[in-house]
């Protein structure tokens, strides 16, 4: 396949660097900025870039924006410009857009752009915009109305999508460049719940852990009683990838781990697990919480189907008024009903509240959308892969027929929701080629080519 995207590479890199400089993690709302001013500035940077290219744009009250191109049945490309908090452990500024080939900060060889959102999901949004520009510069008018929709609250509740559905018309079909190649035909169900564990005669006066429910907890702290702190003298932490630090002057115990996406807890090291593991060695209430949530005493993780096993990641915790509240991220197999999960939770024997539920999605892996995208991916990558299922929750759930499509590659290192997130120049070149040809295949195949003669005029040729 012809690689028409090479000519845009320098521009893609430049604008990726600039858009990574916005700290678009969730902030308190301001007037006209529902997710904070910097997130609104990030959205407007993107939309202004599209406007400069000559595209029709819409900003829906700084919740979400869209770039429109083509005619006919709508087709969505759903990306997001918000990010999870940077967290700790970065070698380079998380909102600096630093470019180098440093291997000491991790990653594969090659030139990289470092920054929160490099893989999740700002680069993909920029690349898809330039894929539309390439079509436009070639004079190709898609026979579908492509809506490149960029949300600002994907990581924290999807209020952006809810707002879009109020003020605009969501296409029924599309993809989101926010997961893995070759293409995601199914996504597990998502359930966030908070369990309440009464802790009598507590070994701590305070405990706090985690930043987001969908990020593996990488730090936790607790103010221990003097008696509890004394038990650390002979304690050896068994949780791999974590460490404990105790200040016997302040009685503060700190646990450190490694963050990862909540859907793939196996890539992280849970600091809350290290904290609770210690507390469970001498306190029955803490042991019950540890056994249920980390030792899986009720067998939740045994649930499995073709889309994979259930995963469970306890990522947030707070101790207040004698109750330890722990919020857990569960991703359950796509063919299971919600009842199968809540039955297991009921067996906990403790009070719990469901904070968020998103049903699973399942697409026909042989349907036109999935088969076209996997064909394009295999042709350009030189591979021969099949559609897959994941535990992540993407904007594909906002569509009647939607799927996730890149930019990650299975079995390669992932840094999303982790420190030192990056994307390589090679990956940018690859996804630029893939997204251009995928959009072209979905939205121009089986039609006559139409060539632009002026901004609002088109003529057909055979």
State the average pLDDT over residues 269-283.
97
Asked whether residue 217 is assigned to any structural domain, the reply reads yes
Q: What is the CATH number of the domain that holds 404?
A: 3.40.630.10
Domain closes at, from 358, 386, 419: 358
DSSP string computed for 79-138? EE--B----S--SS-TTS-EEE--STTSS-SS-EEESTTTTTTHHHHHHHHHHHHHHHHT
Q: 352-391 pLDDT, tens per residue?
A: 999 999 889 888 889 999 999 999 999 999 999 999 988 8
First to last CA, the chain: 21
| Torsion 27-28-33-34 (CA) sign | positive
* pLDDT tier at 414, thresholds 50, 70, 90: confident
Distances in whole angstroms, Cα of residue 245 to Cα of each of 231, 233, 279: 13, 11, 14
Average pLDDT of span 86-110: 91
For residues 190, 191, 192, 197, the Cα torsion angle rounded to the nearest 10 degrees is: -150
**pLDDT bracket for residue 449 (50, 70, 90):** very low
pLDDT of residue 457: 33
Asked if the model's pLDDT at residue 19 lies above 90, the reply is yes
pLDDT score for 452: 34
Q: What number is the average pLDDT over the span 409-436?
A: 92
d(CA 448, CA 462): 6
Same-domain check for residues 395 and 377: yes
415 close to 111: Cβ distance less than 8 angstroms: no
Q: Which residue has the higher pLDDT, 279 or 364?
A: 279
Place of tokens 């060889």: 109
For residue 453, pLDDT over 70 is answered with no
Residues 241 and 342 in one domain: yes
133: pLDDT strictly greater than 80? yes
Same domain, 292 and 163: no
Backbone angles phi, psi at 7, to 5 degrees: -70, -15
Is the backbone peptide bond immediately before 132 cis, with ω within 30 degrees of 0?
Answer: no
Helix (H, G, I), strand (E, B) or coil at 14: helix
Pairing state of beta strands 173-176 and 407-409? Answer: unpaired
Burial track 2-37 (b if 16+ CB lie within 10 A, e otherwise):
eebbeebeeebbebbbbbbbbbbbbeeeeeebbbbb
pLDDT of residue 157: 84
* Structural domains in the chain (count): 2
Query: Given pLDDT bands bounded at 50, 70 and 90, which one contains residue 454?
Result: very low
Q: Give me the torsion for CA of 262, 118, 436, 8, rounded to 10°.
A: 180
Between 104 and 375, whose confidence is greater? 375
In this structure, the number of other CB atoms found within 10 A of the CB of residue 114 comes to 27
Q: Assess whether pLDDT exceeds 80 at residue 446.
A: no
Same domain, residue pair 207 and 233: yes
Give 439's pLDDT tier (boundaries 50, 70, 90): very high
Q: Are residues 342 and 201 in the same domain?
A: yes
- The string of pLDDT tens digits covering residues 322-336 is 999 999 999 999 989
In whole angstroms, give the CA distance from residue 260 to residue 265: 6
What is the CATH number for 302? 3.30.70.360
Q: pLDDT tens for residues 33-46?
A: 999 999 999 999 99
- Domain of residue 194 covers 189-358
Name the percent of the chain lying above pLDDT 90.
84
pLDDT at residue 389 in the model: 87
Q: How far is residue 25's CA from residue 116's CA, in Å, rounded to a whole number?
A: 9
Distance of CA 7 to CAs 111, 291, 318, 382, 453, Å?
18, 56, 51, 22, 22
pLDDT higher than threshold 60 for residue 450: no
Residue 1 has pLDDT above 70, yes or no: no
Q: What is the mean pLDDT of residues 158-162?
A: 96
* Same domain as 344, residue 203: yes
pLDDT above 90: residue 55: yes
Tell me if 456 is assigned to some domain.
yes
Whether the per-residue pLDDT at 456 is higher than 70: the answer is: no
Distance CA 389, CA 91 (A): 33
Section 448-458 average pLDDT: 33
Angle of CA points 124, 266, 239, to nearest 5°:
140
Q: Does one domain contain both 142 and 225? A: no
Residues 146, 374: Cα–Cα separation, whole Å? 20
> Is the whole model's pTM more than 0.85, yes or no?
no
Residue 1 domain-assigned? no
Residue 125, domain member (yes or no): yes
What pLDDT score does 156 carry? 87
Does any domain span residue 142? Answer: yes
Q: Are 130 and 259 part of one and the same domain?
A: no
Average pLDDT, the chain: 92
């Amino acid at each position: 396949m012809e690689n028409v995207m090479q000519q845009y590479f320098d521009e893609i890199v430049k604008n990726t660097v600039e858009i990574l400089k916005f700290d678009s993690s969730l902030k308190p709302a301001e007037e006209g900025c529902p997710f904070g001013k910097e997130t609104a500035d990030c959205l407007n940077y993107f939309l202004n870039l599209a406007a400069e290219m000559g595209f029709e744009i819409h900003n829906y009250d700084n919740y979400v924006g869209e770039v429109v191109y083509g005619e006919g049945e709508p087709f969505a490309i759903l990306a997001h410009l918000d990010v999870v908090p940077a967290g700790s452990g970065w070698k380079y500024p998380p909102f600096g857009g630093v470019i180098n080939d440093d291997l000491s900060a991790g990653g594969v060889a090659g030139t990289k752009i470092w920054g929160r959102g490099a893989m999740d999901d700002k680069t993909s949004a920029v690349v898809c915009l330039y894929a539309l520009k390439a079509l436009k510069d070639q004079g190709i008018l898609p026979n579908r109305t492509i809506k490149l929709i960029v949300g600002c609250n994907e990581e924290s509740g999807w209020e952006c999508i809810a707002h879009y559905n109020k003020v605009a018309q969501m296409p029924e079909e599309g993809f989101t460049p926010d997961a893995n190649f070759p293409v995601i035909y199914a996504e597990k169900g998502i359930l966030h719940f908070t369990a309440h564990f009464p802790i009598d005669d507590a070994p701590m006066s305070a405990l706090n852990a985690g930043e987001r429910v969908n990020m593996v907890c990488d730090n936790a702290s607790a103010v221990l009683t003097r008696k509890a702190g004394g038990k650390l003298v002979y304690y050896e932490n068994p949780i791999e990838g974590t460490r404990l630090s105790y200040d016997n002057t302040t009685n503060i115990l700190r646990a450190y781990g490694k963050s990862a996406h909540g859907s793939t807890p196996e890539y992280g090291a849970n600091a809350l697990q290290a904290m609770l593991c210690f507390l469970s060695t001498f306190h029955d209430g803490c042991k019950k919480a540890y056994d249920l949530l980390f030792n899986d005493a009720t067998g939740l993780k045994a649930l499995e189907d073709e889309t994979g096993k259930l995963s469970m990641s306890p990522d947030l915790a707070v101790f207040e008024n004698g109750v330890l509240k722990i919020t857990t991220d569960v991703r359950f197999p796509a063919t299971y009903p919600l009842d199968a999960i809540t039955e297991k939770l009921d067996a906990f024997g403790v009070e719990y509240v469901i904070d968020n539920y998103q049903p699973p999605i399942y697409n026909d892996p042989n349907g036109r959308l999935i088969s076209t995208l996997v064909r394009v991916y295999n042709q350009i990558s030189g591979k021969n892969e099949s559609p897959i299922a994941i535990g992540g929750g993407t904007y594909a759930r906002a569509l009647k027929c939607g799927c996730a499509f890149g930019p990650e590659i299975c079995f390669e290192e992932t840094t999303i929701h982790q420190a030192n997130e990056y994307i390589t120049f090679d990956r940018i070149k690859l996804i630029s080629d893939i997204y251009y040809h995928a959009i072209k295949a979905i939205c121009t195949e089986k039609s006559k080519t139409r060539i632009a003669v002026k901004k609002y005029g088109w003529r057909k040729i055979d």
